[in-house]
């Protein structure tokens, strides 16, 4: 009797809502008991099982979890872009009430763009290298029946945070920085104002200020257009700050979900607890240890072999003196203009320490790294490595230099040869420098895979068979193969989930302590900077605007630009325990 009364009450309420002119709100996307299976040479592999999540119109839901947990696979199923050997083997994917789990290609093409947009993770694999950026935006607008003139293209690019959009539209992907390429992808994904936007690590390559600009734009769409966002991210601070709900995936299953702040401040599942505990905080481990021991942080910079005879001062292994780099940019009709990517930059790096270069995309960070690696020729200035000007090195000396200074690049898709299996990829520098025999090289590769937390069975696989985080770990293993003295890390952990990121940062710190390695760390992630760096160099538009010890720069920044970078860190306070926040 009581149940009949309740049902009658609900029906009356629904009728009143409809009379008032409102439709009952139903989920925009609802995934129920989803299973995804891949056909492999060893049989069927179930990558996702019993997955479930709900996204209401205008809601932002974040999926978090380590690489290979099934985050991106679940999202690709929702837009019908699973690889050819993948299929939805069970469950439902309801988009606005319609089950599209096994919809035909024609129907999915109708939905993509105007109804469901996609921002993929890797810009180099998803932008056509022989098409100008503007043409690629124009193609998307035309395919969805929208105005596609130069002004429309420029508007789309400027909304995604690209400055001087009209000129940038005439450039090719290789002329953009990593962050600018990612913004171009974001522009394409947002161009048709979809009802649901699937954003797969949309800001992993962006500095914090541009990240805020992009995420503010997503929030604006959510508010004004009712656009829902499915955000795939390994940044728990970003998830806490930007998402209404968080879904945690582990080994293909949803293990926990709920309101973002509540879930991240009070995680229930052991795996979620590990994720939160591993997230980089604004308190540097090195600084925390110094305070616990009652010593000044500068004392931690002394080399490991410092003796009681007196305070040893670490020597400068790398000196950058008045470094500049000017590029010629095409401006049309055979003309070109000068662009100063690096402008009179000077700093030094002490042996056995970590120096971080931070700044927005296009600030010149990676250009400095490429000149230090002797991959770009400076327009002016000097790079002194171990007392020698690198511009004076002959070909034989450069070959020896490359063994002592190794890079870890930002983009594992572009830095790994797709035709080499993982064993050959990591072994290649050993063979190139004629180190050891076949058996010793195989042993070394196995040790390196262990160091970066990859199973040894990975050796026979190829880059396309690995997740983005796994590929980056392979790149790190390859950089360590020659036991270098200096490692240039260009966004080396930006593609990694927090658990693997913590492992890699711990590994880098351990190797530095044990082998006396020196790191030049290029990054936009200031939380990582505080965790690993001894010194910080802040760059803005090619110039070095502030430098100092990490605790000085973070605790007492002198420049407004540095303050803006620190204030833009996502979730800085949200990730604190409830009693502190």
* 6-10, 465-469, 494-498: least confident range: 6-10
Residue 580 has pLDDT above 60, yes or no: no
Residue-wise over 423-442: b if at least 16 C-beta within 10 A, else e?
Answer: bebbbebbeeeebeeeeebb
> What sign does the dihedral 284-280-508-491 (CA atoms) show?
negative
The bridge status of strand 316-332 relative to strand 380-385 is antiparallel
What pLDDT score was predicted for residue 556? 86
Region 554-568: mean pLDDT is: 83
How many whole angstroms separate alpha carbon 268 and alpha carbon 291?
Answer: 31
> Running DSSP on this structure, what letter comes out for residue 29?
E
Region 526-552: mean pLDDT is: 87
How many whole angstroms separate alpha carbon 570 and alpha carbon 221?
Answer: 19
Q: Within 10 Å of residue 470's Cβ, how many Cβ atoms?
A: 23
What pLDDT score was predicted for residue 379? 93
How many whole angstroms separate alpha carbon 356 and alpha carbon 491?
Answer: 10
How many whole angstroms separate alpha carbon 473 and alpha carbon 371?
Answer: 24
How many whole angstroms separate alpha carbon 475 and alpha carbon 183?
Answer: 24
Query: 520 or 313, which is more confident?
Result: 520
* 216-230, 232-246, 416-430, 467-481: least confident range: 216-230
Question: Which helix or strand (DSSP H or E) is residue 429 part of?
Answer: helix 422-432
- Whole-angstrom CA distances from 561 to 359, 407, 524, 564, 573 are 9, 28, 14, 5, 20
Q: Which CB contacts under 8 angstroms, 24+ apart, belong to 450-458?
A: 451/477, 451/480, 451/507, 452/476, 452/477, 452/503, 452/504, 452/507, 453/500, 453/503, 458/422
How many whole angstroms separate alpha carbon 217 and alpha carbon 326?
Answer: 32
What pLDDT score was predicted for residue 13? 44
How many whole angstroms separate alpha carbon 502 and alpha carbon 102?
Answer: 38
Query: 436 or 305, which is more confident?
Result: 436
- Whole-angstrom CA distances from 282 to 143, 523, 552, 554 are 45, 15, 13, 9
Residue with tokens 């930059």: 345
The strands making up 354-359's β-sheet, listed across from edge to edge, are 405-408, 486-490, 518-522, 354-359, 535-540, 543-549
Residue 492: pLDDT band by 50, 70, 90 thresholds?
confident
Question: Which helix or strand (DSSP H or E) is residue 540 part of?
Answer: strand 535-540
- Whole-angstrom CA distances from 414 to 67, 71, 126, 411, 466 are 18, 22, 12, 6, 14
Region 318-327: mean pLDDT is: 93
Region 194-200: mean pLDDT is: 90
What pLDDT score was predicted for residue 555? 83
Residue 487: closest CA among 429, 565, 538, 530: 429
Residue 132 token pair: 């100008």
Query: 506 or 324, which is more confident?
Result: 324
> Running DSSP on this structure, what letter comes out for residue 348?
E
Residues comprising the chain, all counted: 581
Tell me if 499 sits within 8 A of 66, measured CB to CB: yes
Residue 246: pLDDT band by 50, 70, 90 thresholds?
very high
Residue 299 token pair: 């004392």
Residue 286: pLDDT band by 50, 70, 90 thresholds?
very low
* 64-68, 155-159, 402-406, 408-412: least confident range: 408-412
Most confident of 112-116, 314-318, 377-381, 566-570: 377-381
Residue 333: pLDDT band by 50, 70, 90 thresholds?
low
Q: pTM of the full predicted structure?
A: 0.64
Region 425-438: mean pLDDT is: 92
Residue 204 has pLDDT above 70, yes or no: no
How many whole angstroms separate alpha carbon 167 and alpha carbon 432?
Answer: 42
Kindly provide the residue ranges of all beta strands, DSSP E only, lying in 351-453, ordered along the sequence.
354-359, 380-385, 388-389, 405-408
- Whole-angstrom CA distances from 404 to 316, 390, 474, 487, 489 are 15, 13, 19, 8, 14
What pLDDT score was predicted for residue 554? 84
Q: At what angle do helices 150-159 and 133-143 cross, to 10 degrees?
A: 100
Query: 506 or 138, which is more confident?
Result: 138
> What sign does the dihedral 157-162-163-168 (CA atoms) show?
negative
Beta bridge mates, 519:
354, 487
Region 306-330: mean pLDDT is: 71
Residue 514: pLDDT band by 50, 70, 90 thresholds?
confident
Query: 429 or 330, which is more confident?
Result: 429
Question: Which helix or strand (DSSP H or E) is residue 371 part of?
Answer: helix 365-372
Residue 274 has pLDDT above 70, yes or no: yes
How many whole angstroms separate alpha carbon 187 and alpha carbon 153?
Answer: 9
> Is residue 96 packed enough to be buried (19+ CB in 10 Å), middle (13-18) or exposed (0-12)?
middle
Tell me if 146 sits within 8 A of 152, measured CB to CB: yes
Tell me if 188 sits within 8 A of 134, measured CB to CB: no
What pLDDT score was predicted for residue 280? 61
> Concatenated DSSP letters for 194-226?
-SEEEEESTTTTS-HHHHHHHHHHHHHHHHHH-
Residue 526 has pLDDT above 80, yes or no: no
The rounded percent of the chain whose pLDDT value lies above 70 is 84
Average pLDDT, the chain: 81
Tell me if 66 sits within 8 A of 235, measured CB to CB: no
Which spans in 160-207 are helix H? 165-168, 178-190
Q: At what angle do helices 150-159 and 178-190 cross, to 10 degrees?
A: 110
For each of the domains in the chain, give its residue range(s) and CATH number, in order of start. Answer: 57-80+104-278 (3.40.50.300), 297-415+485-567 (3.40.50.300)
What pLDDT score was predicted for residue 234? 77
How many whole angstroms separate alpha carbon 424 and alpha carbon 460?
Answer: 9
> Is residue 89 packed enough to be buried (19+ CB in 10 Å), middle (13-18) or exposed (0-12)?
middle
Tell me what percent of the chain is helix, strand and coil, each rounded to the nearest 5.
40, 25, 35
What pLDDT score was predicted for residue 15? 47
Residue 192: pLDDT band by 50, 70, 90 thresholds?
confident
């Amino acid at each position: 009797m009581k149940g009949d009364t309740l049902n009658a009450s609900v029906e009356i309420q629904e009728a009143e809502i409809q009379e008032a002119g409102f439709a009952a709100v139903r989920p925009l996307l609802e995934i129920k008991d989803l299973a995804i299976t891949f056909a492999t040479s060893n049989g069927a592999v179930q990558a996702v099982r019993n997955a479930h999540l709900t996204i209401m119109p205008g809601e932002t839901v974040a999926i978090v979890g380590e690489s290979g947990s099934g985050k991106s696979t679940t999202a690709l199923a929702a837009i019908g872009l699973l690889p050819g050997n993948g299929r939805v083997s069970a469950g439902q994917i309801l988009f606005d009430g319609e089950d599209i789990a096994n919809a035909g290609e024609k129907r999915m093409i109708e939905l993509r763009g105007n109804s469901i947009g996609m921002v993929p993770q890797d810009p180099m694999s998803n932008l056509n290298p022989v098409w100008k950026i503007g043409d690629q935006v124009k193609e998307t607008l035309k395919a969805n029946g929208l105005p596609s003139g130069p002004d429309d293209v420029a508007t789309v690019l400027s909304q995604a945070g690209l400055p001087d959009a009209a000129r940038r539209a005439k450039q090719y992907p290789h002329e953009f920085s990593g962050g600018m390429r990612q913004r171009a992808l974001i522009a394409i994904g947002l161009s048709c104002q979809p009802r649901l936007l699937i954003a797969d690590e949309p800001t992993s390559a962006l500095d914090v200020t541009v990240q805020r600009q992009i995420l503010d734009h997503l929030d604006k769409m959510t508010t004004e257009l009712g656009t829902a966002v499915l955000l795939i991210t390994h940044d728990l601070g970003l998830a806490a700050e930007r998402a209404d709900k968080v879904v945690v995936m582990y080994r293909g299953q949803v293990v926990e979900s709920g309101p973002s702040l509540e879930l991240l401040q009070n995680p229930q599942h052991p795996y979620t607890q590990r994720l939160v505990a591993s997230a980089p905080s604004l308190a540097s481990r090195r600084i925390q240890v110094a305070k616990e021991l009652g010593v000044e942080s500068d004392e931690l910079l002394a080399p490991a072999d410092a003796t009681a005879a007196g305070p040893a001062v670490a020597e400068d292994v790398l000196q950058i003196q008045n470094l500049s780099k000017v590029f010629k940019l095409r401006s049309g009709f055979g003309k070109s203009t000068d662009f100063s990517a690096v402008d009179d930059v000077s700093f030094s790096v002490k042996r056995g320490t970590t120096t971080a270069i931070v700044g927005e995309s296009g600030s010149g960070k990676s250009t400095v790294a490429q000149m230090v690696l002797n991959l770009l020729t400076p327009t002016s200035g000097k790079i002194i490595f171990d007392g020698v000007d690198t511009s004076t090195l002959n070909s034989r000396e450069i070959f020896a230099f490359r063994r002592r200074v190794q890079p870890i690049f930002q983009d594992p898709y572009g830095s790994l040869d797709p035709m080499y299996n993982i064993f050959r990829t990591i072994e290649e520098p050993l063979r190139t420098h004629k180190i050891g025999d076949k058996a010793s090289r195989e042993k070394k590769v196995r040790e390196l895979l262990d160091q970066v937390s990859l199973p040894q069975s990975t050796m026979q696989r190829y880059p396309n068979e690995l997740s983005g985080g796994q590929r980056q770990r392979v790149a790190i293993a390859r950089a360590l193969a020659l036991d270098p003295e200096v490692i240039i890390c260009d966004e080396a952990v930006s593609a990694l989930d927090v658990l693997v990121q913590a492992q890699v940062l711990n590994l880098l710190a351990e190797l530095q302590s044990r082998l006396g390695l020196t790191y030049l760390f290029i990054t936009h992630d200031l939380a990582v900077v505080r965790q690993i760096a001894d010194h910080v160099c802040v760059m803005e538009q090619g110039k070095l605007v502030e430098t100092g010890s990490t605790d000085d720069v973070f605790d007492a920044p002198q420049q407004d630009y540095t303050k803006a970078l620190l204030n833009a860190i996502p979730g800085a306070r949200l990730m604190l325990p409830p009693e502190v926040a």
